[in-house]
Amino acid sequence: MKFETKAIHIGEEPNLREGGSGDVVIPIHLSSTFARKEINIPTNGYEYSRSGNPTRNALEKKLAALEDARFGLAFSSGLAAETTIALALLNSNDNVIAFDDLYGGTRRLFNKIFKKNFNIDFNYVDATKTENVINAVNKNTKMVWLETPTNPLLKLCDIKEISEFCRKKGIIVVVDNTFMSPYLQKPLNLGADIAVHSTTKYINGHSDSIGGAIMTSNEELHNAIRFSQNAAGAILSPFDSFLVARGIKTLSVRMEKHNKNAIDIADYLSKHKKVSKVNYPGLFSHPQHELAKKQMTGFGGMISFEINGGLKESRKFLQSLEIFSLAESLGGVESLIEHPAL
Ligand SMILES: Cc1ncc(COP(=O)(O)O)c(C=O)c1O
C-alpha cells in the first residue's frame, strides 16, 4: 500500500464478521471499562480504557503504518508523549544530548522537570554538525534527542549519520518529527529508534485536538514506553483518537498544499526589501538545502523570518495581518503567525 492508502484504510478495516456492523469509519468507543465473560480473560484483549481502547488502538495502528513502524502509541499531547519517553527510558545520572534549537516546551520539560527533579543531564549541542553530537558523547550518554527541522529556526541535522554512529554505541535516537509529519520525512527509515509527534499539528491538521504519538519498530522500547503510558496514564481520549484518525486521511493532500504555499511565501519574502532573513529549507539559500533534499520529500509549511527593525516594527507587522491569525501552534489548515520571544 502507498502512504495515502494506508492513511485511509489501516486500522479502519470494516468489521464484516458475524455481529459486526461494517462501519467504514472507526466508531468512538467511550466505554471506560470492558466486561468479561470469565474473570481472568479480558474480552478481545480489552480490560480498561487507559490500558487499551478500540478507537485509540485503531488510530495507533494507523500511526504506526504512517512511519513504517511496527508499533504506534497515542498520547494526550506531544509533551505527554515526550514525558513518557523520558519516564520509560531514562534514569538519574543518564546523559541526553539534545539539539540546541528544540521547541521551547521540550526544553522546559527537560530542564525544569527531568534535570531539576530527577538529575538527568541534558547537553544541548548544535547538531547541524554531526561531529558536535559525536564529541559530546560521554560514558553516561543514553539518548540523543533530535528535532529536524527545528522550531523555530528550521535548522536540520543528518538523521542517518547520527543514527549510524549511535547504533554502534547503543545510544537511543529520538526524532521529533512534528514539523515534517510522516508524509515528508521518516526518521525510522533513516535509522532512528523512535519518532515522536505532536499530533496537534500536521497529523490532526485542523487545530481542534491536542495529542501526541510515538512510533517505533523496536519491541523492547515499545514495551517499556507502553508500560509507562499505562502506568502514568497519558493516553489520548477516544473522541480525540477519532478526530486524529479522521485528520490523517487528508494528511498527504494537506502536506502537498502546505509545501506549495510555503515555497511561494518563502520566495516572496526572500525578495522583499523589508525582510532581512528567511529560514526555509526549500530555499537554495538555506545552509542545509542539500540535506533537506536528501532526507525529506518536501520542505514543509513552516517558515521563520526576520524583518528590518526591532520589536516595534515586528508588533506593527504582526498586528496588520488580515488572513494570518496571531496564535501559537502550527500545522492546521488555517495560517498562523507568532513571535516566539513575545
Ligand atoms: C516540534 C514540537 N514538538 C512538540 C510540541 C509539543 O506538542 P503539544 O503542544 O501537543 O504538547 C510542539 C508544540 O508546539 C512542537 O512544535
Of 142, 32, 136, the closest CA to residue 91 belongs to 142
The best mutation among 84, 109, 200 to test binding of ligand 1, ranked by most ligand atoms within 8 Å of the C-beta, falls on 200
Q: Is 73:207 a contact under the CB 8 Å cutoff?
A: no
Q: How far is the CA of 101 from the centre of ligand 1 (A)?
A: 13
In ligand 1, which atom is closest to the CA atom of 212? Answer: 10
Of 99, 213, 105, 103, the closest CA to residue 156 belongs to 99
Of 100, 182, 114, 102, the closest CA to residue 142 belongs to 114
pLDDT of residue 44: 86
The interaxial angle of helices 219-232 and 78-89, nearest 10 deg, is 110
Q: What is the full DSSP assignment across 45-112?
A: TBSBTTT--HHHHHHHHHHHHHTT-SEEEEESSHHHHHHHHHHHH--TT-EEEEETT--HHHHHIIII
pLDDT of residue 151: 87
Output the CA–CA distances (angstroms, integers) from residue 328 to 204, 222, 341, in the order listed.
16, 31, 12
Cis peptide leading into residue 149 (ω within 30°)? yes
Is the Cβ atom of 177 under 6 angstroms away from ligand 1? no
Is the Cβ atom of 241 under 6 angstroms away from ligand 1? no
Question: CA–CA separation, 108 vs 106, rounded Å?
Answer: 5
The H helix count followed by the E strand count for the chain is 12, 11
Helices (H), 170-237: 181-184, 219-232
For the entire predicted model, the pTM comes to: 0.97
Of 156, 102, 100, the closest CA to residue 125 belongs to 100
Which residues, 6+ apart, have CB-to-CB distance to 176 below 8 Å? 78, 82, 102, 103, 106, 145, 146, 147, 196, 197, 198
User: What DSSP state is assigned to residue 175?
Assistant: E
In ligand 1, which atom is closest to the CA atom of 211? Answer: 10
Name which residue sits closest to atom 10 of ligand 1, judged by CA: 78
What pairing do the DSSP bridges indicate for beta strands 304-307 and 172-176? unpaired
The interaxial angle of helices 238-248 and 54-66, nearest 10 deg, is 30
Q: How far is the CA of 30 from the centre of ligand 1 (A)?
A: 26
Question: CA–CA separation, 40 vs 56, rounded Å?
Answer: 23
For the chain, 342 residues long, the average pLDDT of each consecutive 10-residue run is 97 92 95 93 92 98 98 98 98 98 96 98 98 98 98 95 98 98 98 98 98 98 98 98 98 98 98 97 98 98 96 95 95 95 84
pLDDT of residue 341: 83
The best mutation among 154, 177, 178 to test binding of ligand 1, ranked by most ligand atoms within 8 Å of the C-beta, falls on 178
Q: How far is the CA of 279 from the centre of ligand 1 (A)?
A: 19
Helix (H, G, I), strand (E, B) or coil at 114: helix
Name which residue sits closest to atom 15 of ligand 1, judged by CA: 103
User: What DSSP state is assigned to residue 297?
Assistant: S
Q: Is 119:110 a contact under the CB 8 Å cutoff?
A: no
